[in-house]
Structure 1
Amino acid sequence: MQLVFATNNLNKLKEVQALIPAHIKLLSLKDAGCFEDVPETQNTIEGNAIQKAEYIKNKYGYDCFADDTGLEVSALNGEPGVYSARYAGEQRNADDNTNKLLEALKNKDSRKAQFKTVIALQINNKQHTFTGICKGEITTTKHGKKGFGYDPVFKPNGYNQTFAEMDLSLKNSIGHRGKAIKLLINFLNS
């Protein structure tokens, strides 16, 4: 079986490749011949994942899956949410996004947050979605050099480290993307 993972984010690709079983050949967008930006114009995380998967299936003909992930912060009414990657602007700079988030939370009592990943799978002309959530809190400063995005400021419930301080295997076992990927893999194996 081969599937395209509809992402240009090499960090996401690396995380997912570590989880996918060997009998599933994972293709990148480049492998599928896709060199343009895949549209993400929906106003929900679910909508973006579905839009990306449908785009690759319709334009390139491959069975594929796409994910969209957002950080939802309680004190900010769920922001940055679907706009997590471009929270501080269209340049999609992780440091700028994280700094804006820390600034927005400076005078807030609650720092509760959750990462949410939705995976949309297009296979055999059917669509399926899988959701993974990891609850935690936003730290007051950045910690760690591993991971990407908001990982240096997200500490999952029950842990004393941020995602950026954790080994990839631990992050994958407890994190939002890992949970959604496990649901995807269970479905593909059934």
Structure 2
Amino acid sequence: MSRVLVASRNAKKLKELRRILDEAGVAGVEIVGLDDVPPYDEAPETGATFEENALAKARDGAAATGLPCVADDSGIEVDALNGMPGVLSARWAGRHGDDAANNALLLGQLGDVPDERRGARFVSTCALVVPGGAELVVRGEWPGVIARKPVGEGGFGYDPLFVPEGGEVSAAQLTPAEKDAASHRGRALRQLLPALAEFAG
């Protein structure tokens, strides 16, 4: 069994990757999170792009543990805000990971924006770094629009505000399987599957 570190403590992200590996039939890979390895100094996310942040996190994890490391940096880009919050998505309202405050601030900023200009996309950039070896960076995008109010109890982050393109319900109303099939992170992670399958091989 090959161990692959996912540089995250977010149980939902870890579960998502495990589900995607299972569905793709990739056996022989054990996904471990940051809570499963000895602590190490994690560099702050100071990159200007999702790619820079994901690669920095994956390099840190691979160097500290000697395991192949997958890291993702993700967020939402809103057309009417010139692509913001972008890399600042998790701390848009000031405190890291305060989903309710982030959603409220985003809604306030878009208060006057008409429906036809509320386009947005979730972006996930995933980096895979093998100690002393390959580096691979992939990007997944999930287009949609920002709703007028949050709906749904599932998901996390901006899911309750995000209605995927062509859909009628928010990302927070999708089942985990429906979300994996369409989401930005699912799209990015599936691009890493061939490389992950090689470790398992």
Alignment correspondent of 1:132: 140
Q: Is 1:61 matched with 2:66?
A: yes
* 1:39-77 deviations in Å (ceiling 9; x for gaps): 312111111100100111122222111000010000000
* 1:67-103 deviations in Å (ceiling 9; x for gaps): 0001000000001000000000134200000000000
Alignment correspondent of 1:79: 84
Any idea what SS the aligned residue of 1:184 has? helix
Alignment correspondent of 1:118: 125
| Counterpart mapping for 1:1-190 below 5 A | 1-20=2-21, 21-34=26-39, 37-109=42-114, 110-123=117-130, 125-189=133-197
Counterparts of 1:27 and 1:164, CA distance in 2: 26
Query: Which of the pair has the greater relative contact order for Cα pairs under 8 Å at 6+ separation?
Result: 2
1:189 Cα deviation from its structure 2 partner: 2.8
1:35 Cα deviation from its structure 2 partner: 6.3
The Cα RMSD (Å) is: 1.4
Counterparts of 2:15 and 2:178, CA distance in 1: 14
* TM-score where L is the length of structure 2: 0.90
Query: Which structure has more helix as a fraction of its residues?
Result: 2
Counterparts of 1:172 and 1:73, CA distance in 2: 22
Q: Is the 8 A contact 1:4 1:28 kept in 2?
A: yes
* 1:98-117 deviations in Å (ceiling 9; x for gaps): 00000011111211000010
Counterparts of 1:34 and 1:28, CA distance in 2: 11
Which runs of 5 or more residues in structure 2 are unaligned? none
* Structure 1 stretch displaced more, 43-52 or 89-98: 89-98
* 1:18-37 deviations in Å (ceiling 9; x for gaps): 11233211011121212665
Q: Is the 8 A contact 1:63 1:123 kept in 2?
A: yes
* TM-score where L is the length of structure 1: 0.95
Tell me the amino acid that sits aligned with residue 120 of structure 2: A
Counterparts of 2:7 and 2:144, CA distance in 1: 27
Counterparts of 1:142 and 1:90, CA distance in 2: 20
Any idea what SS the aligned residue of 2:108 has? helix
Q: Which runs of 4+ in 1 moved over 4 A?
A: 35-38
Any idea what SS the aligned residue of 2:142 has? strand
